[in-house]
Structure 1
Amino acid sequence: MFVRRISVALLAAAAALTVGAGPAAAAPDQTPAPPTTRAWNPPSNLVQPLDEVWRHVESTYGNLYGFRNYGWDQVMANRGYINYCVRWDSSAPVTAALRDHIHAALSHQYAKWMNVMLENGQGWENWPYQTVPIRVVGWAVRDRSTLQWTDNSVDIYVNDINENAPQCARECGRFFNQNGDYSRCPGGASRHYDQSLWLTAGMGGGAGGDWGQRMGSEYFVNNLNSENIHIFLHEVGHTFGLDDFYDWTPTGVCCFLMKAGTASQITEFDAWMFRDWWRHLKSRYGL
């Protein structure tokens, strides 16, 4: 069941930056994809396994169609972008340069999933956005001195502890305010955050859901220059509803990102599962 679950992926193998410019930062403008869209036409060898996956989802997710906080819902509510809070669950210092590098890697990796929804500039199944910018609007820490910068590019939250880790203000989080009311958020709606990048010192593996993604701070920082930060990519898959495959494998496929430990990047099968989620949910947005 996806609803607010934490899906843990203990991987067997080591497995357009847009940053808020101050408290009044505006949401980025979006350019809709061209009106000609790509119709549903998966490769013939993937038709059966895709059908098996969706039938499995329908039989195991308790509130599959009623749940309204998938990553899809967040993108559509924002009209084409995602805001992030970084939960720095570590005592390691963060310079302005490291902060910006983390933001850039986050944006680059997230774009890998969003790019799955386009082919030659055309959106699959009426997907309306050519890009989905990522804006980091806040950092949360236990001790302000951990963050070694003085500019106001992001809001900073100090010693607001939840689940034994620092968090950005609950009043600004979509997870806590799914009605879209951010009137109590200090920076207003433009400074709300949809997901958290929760980086925890010493953590192995990862977790993901509608609230965001969690993994080791050392792992993420050590992979900032990697082409695929694959634990993060796996956990973003969960944010958009994709399941784990610990105890079964769809017919005719063997190795893909959402089957932990068998792939280190988004595969063709992952991409088609992702598009299939959109195909089944797009009607809720009138598309």
Structure 2
Amino acid sequence: MRGRPGLVLAALAAVFLAAIPTTSGTAGAEPGNSEAAAPTAVVEVADDWNPPAHLRQPLQEVWDHVEATYPDLHGFRNYGWDQVMANGGYLNFCVRWDSSRPVSEELRDRIHETLRRQYRKWTDVMLDNGQGHNAWPYTEVPVTVVGWAVRDRDTLRWDDDSVDIYVNDIREGAPQCAEECGRFFNQDGDYSRCPGGTARHYDQSLWLTEGMSGGAGGDWGQRMGSEYFVDSLDAENVTILLHEIGHTFGLDDFYDWTPTGVSEFIMRAGSSPHITEFDGWMLRDFWRNVKHRYGL
């Protein structure tokens, strides 16, 4: 299925894993944070549209395709953009650990840091020389993991209270963080039933499923194999995660067509292991076409 907002998920073919090489780097671990990230300062912005000349035609083709095929393009109100803006510049996550593998404190912190590092690859696209691109109001978008969901508490080998822990609350056959705290279930922003209130709500889930090939993504978050994610903790680009984050911000799949003059970009599954210039300009173009809903 396509990665369109409003659908439950977007499937990514298992061939993705075979087609993309892994580039290794080094990632440090960062301790879990029990507090929600503070809103990021608003910055001076440039309000213009200036993609490279060679990308103007394919970008227009992509947007025309989006307008023609998304069933509720402007009525849908839970893109990643909506979540960031509702929070004032940050995102909270829940990890759905759909695996029997034990998780140490060190592994937990490395999973958190990898998620932050990969997410920033997309949000940094929205900056021009340190300023927000085309009225984008944030210099960064902090990502904080506030919860973990598991079947068995003994799977989690730590005793600190840095994250909320949800045990054996099963939804879609997998552990689920409290629905009362989830943006997907409370799109009006009312977290009064969440035990930790707004500070402990989660906007998206990182759903890591044992034995899964490929991935899925949407407004609810991103899903992929737990083995793939853990094996990619030192990778420069966690390709499947990056592709699925693109769906969270509204970007489409390209299974059945390719824009003029471009063929290798991360949203075309199997063609690029990293975010390309064209991916970045598609993200910026989506923002350009939805920013009016925030009075920008």
With the length of structure 2 as denominator, give the TM-score of the two structures.
0.93
SS at 1:243 equivalent: coil
1:29 pairs with 20, 28, 39, which one? 39
Residue 152 (1) aligns with residue 161 (2)? yes
Q: How does 1:23-172 map to 2 (within 5 A)?
A: 25-33=35-43, 35-37=44-46, 39-172=48-181
Deviation for aligned residue 1:17: 8.5
Query: Which stretches in structure 1 are left out of the alignment for 5+ residues?
Result: none
Answer whether contact 1:4 1:211 (CA < 8 A) is retained: no
Deviates more, 1:8-17 or 1:176-185: 8-17
**Conserved 8 A contact 2:111-2:233:** yes
Residue in structure 2 matched with residue 13 of structure 1 by the alignment: 19
Partner of 2:233: 224
Percent same amino acid at aligned positions? Answer: 66
Contact 1:143 1:159 in 2 (8 A): yes
The Cα shift of 1:204 comes to 0.4
Whole-angstrom distance in 1 between the partners of 2:47 and 2:121: 18
TM-score, with structure 1 as normaliser: 0.96
Kindly report the root-mean-square deviation, in angstroms, between the aligned alpha carbons of the 2 structures.
Answer: 1.5
Between the aligned partners of 2:105 and 2:129, the Cα distance in structure 1 is 36
2:281 is aligned with 1:278? no
| Aligned residue type for 2:212 | M
Structure 1 Cα separation of the partners of residues 146 and 213 of structure 2 = 26
Residues 30-67 of structure 1 show CA distances to partners (whole Å, capped at 9, x for unaligned) of: 1222x241521011111000000000000100000000
Q: In 2, Cα distance between the equivalents of 1:236 and 1:135?
A: 15
* 8 Å CA contact retained: 2:45, 2:137: no
Partners of 1:56 and 1:80 lie apart in 2 by 29
CA shift, 1:70, in A, is 0.1
In the TM superposition, what is the alpha-carbon distance from 1:279 to its structure 2 partner? 0.1
Distance 1:252 1:14, change over 3 A: closer
1:3 is matched with which residue? 6
Structure 2 partner of 1:255:
264
Amino acid at match of 1:137: V
1:4 Cα shift? 3.0
Counterparts of 1:264 and 1:258, CA distance in 2:
10
Say if 1:18 and 1:135, in contact at 8 Å, map to a contact too: no
Verify the 8 A CA contact 1:84 1:194 in the aligned structure 2.
yes
CA distance in 2, matches of 1:38, 1:121: 14
Tell me if the contact between 2:182 and 2:201 (Cα under 8 Å) persists in the aligned partners. yes
* Maintained 8 Å contact 2:150/2:168: yes
Q: Which AA in structure 2 matches 1:9?
A: L
Task: Summarize deviations over 1:12-34 as a string: whole Å, max 9, x none.
Answer: 42459987643xx254131222x
The SS at the match of 2:206 is: strand
* Among 199, 219, 226, the residue aligned to 2:208: 199
User: Could you tell me how far 1:186 is from its partner in structure 2?
Assistant: 1.1
Amino acid at match of 1:131: E
* In 1, Cα distance between equivalents of 2:203 and 2:31: 14
Is the partner of 1:116 in helix, strand or coil?
helix
Matched residue type, 2:221: G
Task: Note if contact 2:39-2:87 (Cα within 8 Å) is conserved in structure 1.
Answer: no
